[in-house]
Structure 1
């Protein structure tokens, strides 16, 4: 798996992505059961609310080799600030439609 992770821009000051990387390394959370090697291609933010830049950033991750895009848990679950992204569903829909079925989408990391 060649992984690109998109995170919430609002959480950057609170979280450097340590748990996201740990979950990849330890094959936990969304990565449980994945036996293939996982290479992290990039770790980018959504570009800020309402996440319009996320599709451009997902395209760039794919251009650079990602075959899987994961939304960091800060987007879907609101960790660590306790506020899930109100645009998460639409952001996922736009990215999925733009990238097509050949790119795997993960809803969270941990």
Structure 2
């Protein structure tokens, strides 16, 4: 799996992504049951509210080799601040529409 991670720009200042990387390394969370090696292609933010740049960021991750895009848990689950992205559903819809079936989309990391 060649993984591109999109995270929330609002949490970027205080969350270095440690739990995301740990979930990948230990294959927990959404990565549980994945037997293949996971290569991280990139770790980027959504571009800020209302996530308009997320499509361009997803495209760039794919261009650089990602076959899977995962939304960090800060987007879908609101960790660590307890506030999920109000644009998460729409962001995912737009990225899926743009990238099509050629890329796997995962909803959270841990």
State the SS of the aligned residue for 1:94.
helix
Q: Name the count of aligned residue pairs.
A: 110
Q: CA deviation at 1:13?
A: 1.3
Give 4+ residue runs of structure 1 displaced > 2 Å after superposition.
none
2:9 maps to 9
Query: Could you tell me the TM-score, scaled by structure 1's length?
Result: 0.99
1:107 maps to 107
Query: How far does the alpha carbon of each residue in 1:24-52 deviate from its partner, in whole angstroms, 9 at most, with x for none?
Result: 00000010000001000000000000000
Unpaired runs of at least 5, structure 1: none
Q: CA deviation at 1:5?
A: 0.2
Q: Matches of residues 33-52 of structure 1 in structure 2 within 5 Å? A: 33-52=33-52
Query: How far does the alpha carbon of each residue in 1:52-78 deviate from its partner, in whole angstroms, 9 at most, with x for none?
Result: 000000000000000000000000010
Matched, 1:25 2:28: no
Two-structure CA RMSD over aligned residues (Å): 0.4
Query: Could you tell me the TM-score, scaled by structure 2's length?
Result: 0.99
1:79 maps to 79
Q: CA deviation at 1:17?
A: 0.3
1:92 maps to 92
